[in-house]
């Protein structure tokens, strides 16, 4: 903004009037987006469950399936034996990484997102609206309330079910959920047991999921929600529901064990399931409206996944110009699998890559890579092709790069040949990263590309057989490698990129928009100040009162 705008000084009355005019609409908008009204159109939902979920869905036992349909949700579900590799058999807490992070993740989730069948008995009268499931509900069964450890244990790498290993699993799941803001993931906590031995741990873990999980991870989006099925089934006066314009979460009215056994069985009884349906469906409406009312405009590549396993299907997209491999302005290059993050799943590596609209060398977006590589570990952000690409008419590749580390060491990885006989090549380069606004152009010729050390043969690099290109990072022998990297305008040819960005005396379209918005704000402020003068001092008390109420409402919504 120009200096003149920064120095605007409003009168006291003008400031108060501005607060009233801005804060009251903001409070109203927030209230409208957080109402528990059902969707205004049919929304596809799928529920991953076993026997407790089946009973909950079933007509006459929990009536969840029918009630969801009455709220405009087209419900499908999985059960034992469902899906690729019978993944439906595995819904324990420690199984969720196989669904969302494992080597078969893309095949499993493709089937899940496109499933429209019923695997339980419930009334479904809505017509299938087509398309993928938008809401993904998933729940483990009551044996998963037998959690070892202690209530306050931090996340850990235990290979059996503990409070710490359960926390670690759910923390890891966020690395996938953050890449799919187009889906709403709803965690349903596991039902309680009838015994007391592990009850305190189960209570502590489920309360952590509801109250602390997303906050501790600084999760920025509203596409993840938790509903405490466990808590609702522990006492008639324990609740997790939307009531009187807010969420009631009461956990201490009774014990930590199942209050609603089914004739002595640990499966919840019809009365418990009906209580759950009555509390859950309005909460789901709330979660849905919050998700739809959020201001997330994010386009991202697929999430971290182990390198082995089935490749995803090629992404559809507009063909890029011949010299440009990827501009990062929209969909992935035609015929490619899109950009994917791969990392060593056996280490403590954290690795993500996605499109970033906050900075670009040219255009409006770039590829952002966030890397935290464990010792002797690795991570890559890769663009793979199902068929070999002939890039032999060019002498190399060029791209713009920016980073936040003083000395960033990066691998340019290039792959040739088919998947079953893929050869890997690499060129290591470094540059002085001075932040996302300081771009450098890097050009690499084919003769600089070398075969990786860990592959035995010395087959020469053939640019006529390209099957993928990636940006990779390695951890040190004993130290972590951390930082952020931005890539833009990935192009064929080693000649320096032509940069059509504005010169030092010009304004970019974004800067022009900022100036326009700023001018409008300044004009509005001046008009408000002039109007306020006519109101003061007679209306000052009323303005202060309304302004205070507006602020109170606003902060209450946060």
The helix (run of H) or strand (run of E) holding residue 378 is: strand 378-389
Q: In what order do the strands lie in the sheet with 450-451?
A: 339-343, 378-389, 466-474, 408-416, 423-431, 450-451
State mean pLDDT over 199-209.
Answer: 96
Lowest mean pLDDT among 10-14, 39-43, 218-222: 10-14
Residue 293 has pLDDT above 80, yes or no: yes
Distance between CA atoms of residues 176 and 159, nearest Å = 21
CA-based nearest residue to 280, from 539, 36, 534: 36
The 10s digit of each residue's pLDDT in 464-508 is 999 999 999 988 888 888 999 999 999 998 765 544 333 333 333
**pLDDT above 60: residue 29:** no
Alpha-carbon distance of 117 to 88, in angstroms, equals: 14
* Cα torsion through 90, 94, 99, 101, rounded to 10: -160
Q: Which pLDDT does position 60 carry in this prediction? A: 94
pLDDT band at residue 304 using 50, 70 and 90 as cut-offs? very low
What average pLDDT does the segment 120-147 reach? Answer: 96
Q: How confident is the model at residue 35 (pLDDT cuts 50, 70, 90)?
A: low
Residues 6+ apart with CB under 8 A from 424: 413, 414, 415, 451, 452, 455
Q: Is 306 exposed, middle or buried (0-12, 13-18, 19+ CB in 10 A)?
A: middle
Element (DSSP H or E) covering residue 235: none
Which of residues 33 and 436 earns the better pLDDT score?
436
Domain boundaries, the chain: 33-292, 324-492
Among 138-142, 285-289, 502-506, the least confident range: 502-506
Radius of gyration of the chain from Cα atoms? 27
Query: Among 98, 112, 450, 158, which residue's Cα sits nearest to residue 308?
Result: 98
By DSSP bridging, strand 408-416 and strand 265-268 are: unpaired
Residue 117 has pLDDT above 60, yes or no: yes
pLDDT of residue 153: 96
Distance between CA atoms of 47 and 29, rounded to whole angstroms?
31
449, pLDDT greater than 60: yes
Cα(256)–Cα(230) distance, integer angstroms:
9
Which is higher by pLDDT, 317 or 57? 57
For residue 349, what pLDDT band results from cuts at 50, 70 and 90? confident
**3-state SS assignment for residue 242:** strand
Write out the CATH class of domain 324-492. Answer: mainly beta
33-292 folds as Rossmann fold (3.40.50)
Label residue 337 by pLDDT band (50, 70, 90). confident
Tokens of 55: 């009973």
Beta bridge partners of residue 241, listed in sequence order: 248
Indicate yes or no: pTM above 0.85. no
Which of the pair, 355 or 508, is modelled with greater confidence? 355
- Give the mean pLDDT of 45-57: 96
Lowest-pLDDT range of 45-54, 210-219, 253-262, 526-535: 526-535
Q: What is the mean pLDDT of residues 400-428?
A: 89
Q: What is the pLDDT of residues 168-179, one digit of tens each?
A: 999 999 999 999
**Which of 435, 306, 309 shows the shortest CA–CA distance to 380?**
306
Mean pLDDT of the chain: 79
Helix axis angle for 199-211 and 163-177, nearest 10°, is 20
Backbone phi, psi, residue 204, to 5°: -65, -45
């Amino acid at each position: 903004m120009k200096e003149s705008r920064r120095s605007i000084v409003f009168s006291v009355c003008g400031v108060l009037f501005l607060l009233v005019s801005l804060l009251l609409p903001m409070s109203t908008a927030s209230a409208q987006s957080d109402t528990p009204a059902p969707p205004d159109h049919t929304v596809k939902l799928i529920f991953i469950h076993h026997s407790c979920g089946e009973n909950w869905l079933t007509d006459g036992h929990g009536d969840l399936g029918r009630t969801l349909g009455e709220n405009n949700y087209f419900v499908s579900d999985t059960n034992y034996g469902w899906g690729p590799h019978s993944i439906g058999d595995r819904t324990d807490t420690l199984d969720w990484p196989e669904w969302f992070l494992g080597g078969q993740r893309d095949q499993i989730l493709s089937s899940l997102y496109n499933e429209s069948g019923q695997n339980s008995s419930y009334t479904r009268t809505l017509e299938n609206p087509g398309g993928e499931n938008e809401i993904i509900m998933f729940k483990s069964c009551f044996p998963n309330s037998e959690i070892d450890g202690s209530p306050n244990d931090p996340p850990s790498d235990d290979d059996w079910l503990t409070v710490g290993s359960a926390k670690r699993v759910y923390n890891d799941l966020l690395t996938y959920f953050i890449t799919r803001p187009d889906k709403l993931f709803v965690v349903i906590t596991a039902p309680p047991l009838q015994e007391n031995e592990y009850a305190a741990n189960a209570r502590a873990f489920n309360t952590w999921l509801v109250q602390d999980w997303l906050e501790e991870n600084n999760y920025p989006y509203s596409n993840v929600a938790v509903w405490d099925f466990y808590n609702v089934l522990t006492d008639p006066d324990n609740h997790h529901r939307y009531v009187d314009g807010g969420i009631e979460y009461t956990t201490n009215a009774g014990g930590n064990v199942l209050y609603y056994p089914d004739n002595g069985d640990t499966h919840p009884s019809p009365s418990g399931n009906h209580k759950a349906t009555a509390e859950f469906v309005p909460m789901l409406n709330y979660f849905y409206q919050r998700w739809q009312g959020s201001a997330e405009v994010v386009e991202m590549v697929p999430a971290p996944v182990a390198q082995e396993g089935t490749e995803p299907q090629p992404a559809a997209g507009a063909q890029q110009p011949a010299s440009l491999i990827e501009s990062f302005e929209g969909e992935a290059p035609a015929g490619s699998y899109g950009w994917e993050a791969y990392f060593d799943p056996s280490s403590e590596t954290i690795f993500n890559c996605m499109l970033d609209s906050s900075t670009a060398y040219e255009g409006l977006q770039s590829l952002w890579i966030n890397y935290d590589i464990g010792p002797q570990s690795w991570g890559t952000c890769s663009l793979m092709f199902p068929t070999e690409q002939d890039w032999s008419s060019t002498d190399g590749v060029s791209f713009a790069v920016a980073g936040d580390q003083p000395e960033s060491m990066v691998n340019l990885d290039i792959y040739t040949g088919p998947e079953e006989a893929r050869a890997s090549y690499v060129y290591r380069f470094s540059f002085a990263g001075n932040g996302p606004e300081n771009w450098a152009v890097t050009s690499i010729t084919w003769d600089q590309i070398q075969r990786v050390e860990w592959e035995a043969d010395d087959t020469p690099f053939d640019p006529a057989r390209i099957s993928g290109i990636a940006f990779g990072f390695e951890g040190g022998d004993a130290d972590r490698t951390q930082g952020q990297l931005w890539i833009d305008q990935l192009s064929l040819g080693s000649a320096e990129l032509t940069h059509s960005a504005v010169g030092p005396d010009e304004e970019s379209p974004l800067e022009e928009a900022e100036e326009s918005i700023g001018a409008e704000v300044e004009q509005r402020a001046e008009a408000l100040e002039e109007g306020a003068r006519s109101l003061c001092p007679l209306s000052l008390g009323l303005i202060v009162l309304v302004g205070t109420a507006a602020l109170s409402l606003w902060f209450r919504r946060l």
